Amino acid sequence: MKITGITTFLLSDTLDESFYFSQFEYASRLICVVKVTTDEGIVGWGEGYGPAEVIRSAINFFAPLVIGRNPLQGEVIWQDMHRRALDYARKGVMLSALSAIDIALWDIRGKALGQSVSTLLGGRFREKVEVYATGLYFTQAHACGNMQAKLADEALLYKSQGYRAIKMKVGLGVRTDIDNVTAVRKALGAGGEIKLMVDSNHAYTFREAFELARALEPLRIHWFEEPLAPDDYAGYRELRGRTTIPLAAGECEFLRAGFRQLLEGRCVDFIQPETCAAGGITEAKKIADLAYAHYVEMTPHNWGTGIAVAANLHLTANLCYPPGRMHANQPLLEFDRSPNRLREELLAHPFKATDGCLTVPTAPGLGIEIDEEKLLHFSQPPRAS
Ligand code: MG
């Protein structure tokens, strides 16, 4: 079998209402999806996380290395792409492009062999993966009205839908964050039966993050995500030693070498690689092995279309936490609930959580079917800038 073509699609959708978090505002969704075709008619789908137009360019950079190759040689192709880009891409969006191609090759291999990606990874430790609802972003309506009440209502909506774990945004300033998190925790119940995580998206200095963490400690926070700048490894290590709230990070980290810094530094309790950026399924599996060797739990970041959800689901189904026990901790997968028609409509059969869990597809490859009419509907034509 030979790879015969690589086609990129820039999918875009304008949101009915923009939303924002600690860093910037989202008014639209823009995602780069890749389709890899073969001479046997098997196609694979992948997706890159990050600035879509840059990822498209980087996929085009890698394409000549990949076209003509045997897709069953995925590890070899991965190494060739990595080595070709190493001088420019130890981190960053070129690795999102590599990830997108890698995911598509896993999809092809699964279809060619008649096996799901999770089977090819070594099997599923679980057929259903518990997911947490990511939401509780901010809108202008929040700023004008009672922000705490609106956030609490949204959290209660997720609880009513069956989610047992919910992540909210912080990073608007320590005082505002404390008020918001206190309101949400009170609405969800102080007992902690619903896990509540907070995510500042690296909004804070050490002093601010420490102040916020100490204030939130009585509120049973399951983890504090990206309290500090991604490169502040020493800050993470120190903060982890000074708060009882577990720390999480890794959505801005790449490759084994990047995660090694977080792990060897004992910086976090949870690592959060994004399969569509950190190096694809090939590398995410190795990052999981590295986390295993450091006795750190892995809970993948997941913020894209149904292609990303599928890739992360197969990976999470295959995760195993050491040392293990009869009733071991189960990995949580992120399930973004913020408005995204690309996530909801690109697949012929979109993922729906039931009782806070997603079922891992068992059909060959990623086990998804792209609605190609919708793909074209959302696709932007190439444009000069
Ligand atoms: Mg995050």
Q: What is the pLDDT of residue 143?
A: 75
Give tens-digit pLDDT for 328-338: 889 999 999 99
Q: pLDDT tens digits, residue range 145-204?
A: 799 999 999 999 999 999 999 999 999 999 999 999 999 999 999 888 999 999 999 999
CA of 339 from ligand 1 middle (Å) equals 16
Taking alpha carbons only, the member of 342, 350, 261 closest to residue 10 is 342
**CB-based contacts of 376: which residues, under 8 Å, 6+ apart?**
none
CA separation, residue 193 to residues 243, 317, 345 (Å): 21, 23, 32
Return the pLDDT at 65.
97
Q: What is the Å distance from ligand 1's center to 282 Cα?
A: 22
C-alpha 114 – ligand 1 centre gap (Å):
34
* CA–CA dist 335, 382 (Å, integer): 30
Q: State the catalytic residues.
A: 301
Contacts of 253 by beta carbon, 8 Å cutoff, 6+ apart: 91, 230, 259, 261, 262, 271, 273, 278
Distance between Cα 227 and ligand 1 center (Å) = 10
As a whole number, mean pLDDT of residues 304-313 equals 98
Q: Does pLDDT of 277 surpass 90? A: yes
Tens digit of pLDDT for each residue in 94-149?
A: 999 999 999 999 999 999 999 999 999 999 999 999 999 999 999 987 777 799 99
139 Cα to the center of ligand 1, angstroms? 18
Separation of alpha carbons 52 and 39, rounded Å = 27
Q: How far is the CA of 202 from the centre of ligand 1 (A)?
A: 9
Q: Contact, 46 vs 77, CB < 8 A?
A: no
> Locate tokens 């076209």: which residue?
67
Which pLDDT value is given to residue 207? 98
Output the pLDDT for position 384: 54
H helix runs in 300-370, sequence order: 306-317, 341-345
Q: Residue 24: which residues within 8 A CB-CB, separation 6 or more?
A: none
Q: Could you give the residue ranges of the DSSP H alpha helices within 267-370? A: 280-293, 306-317, 341-345
pLDDT at 30 over 80: yes
Average pLDDT, the chain: 96
* CB-based contacts of 85, cutoff 8 Å, min separation 6: 58, 61, 62, 94, 95, 98
pTM over the 0.85 mark: yes
According to the model, what pLDDT value does residue 92 have? Answer: 95
Hey, what are 67's tokens?
């076209």
Q: Name the CATH topology of 119-359.
A: TIM Barrel (3.20.20)
Predicted pLDDT of residue 191? 84
Is the peptide bond between 300 and the residue preceding it cis, with omega within 30 degrees of 0? no
Burial call 214-225: b when 16+ CB within 10 Å, e when fewer = eebeebbbbbbb
Nearest-angstrom CA–CA distance, 71 and 108: 7
In the predicted structure, residue 381 carries a pLDDT above the cut 80: no
Between the CA of 170 and the centroid of ligand 1 the distance, in Å, is 10
* CA distances, 203 to each of 21, 227, 229, 244 (Å): 10, 7, 7, 20
Half-sphere exposure of 115 (CA within 13 A, CB side): 12
Going by the DSSP 8-state scheme, the letter that residue 15 receives in this structure is E
Q: How far is CA 230 from CA 234, 243, 250, 268, 288, in A?
A: 10, 18, 8, 11, 19
Label residue 171 left, alpha or beta by phi (over 0 means left) and psi (-120 to 50 means alpha): left
Return the exposure string of 124-136: e unless at least 16 CB atoms fall within 10 Å of the residue's CB, then b.
bbbebbbbbbbbb
CA of 61 to the centre of ligand 1 (A): 29
pLDDT of residue 144: 75
Least confident of 77-81, 190-194, 231-235: 190-194
Task: Report the run of H or E that residue 37 belongs to, with start and end.
Answer: strand 25-38
pLDDT of residue 141: 79
The domains of the chain are located at: 3-114+370-379, 119-359
- Round the CA-based radius of gyration of the chain to a whole number and report it: 20
What is the pLDDT confidence band of residue 383, given thresholds at 50, 70 and 90? low
Structure tokens at 64: 């000549």
Fold of the domain built from segment(s) 3-114+370-379:
Enolase-like; domain 1 (3.30.390)
- Name the helix (H) or strand (E) containing 19: strand 3-20
Question: Can you tell me the mean pLDDT for 347-370?
Answer: 98
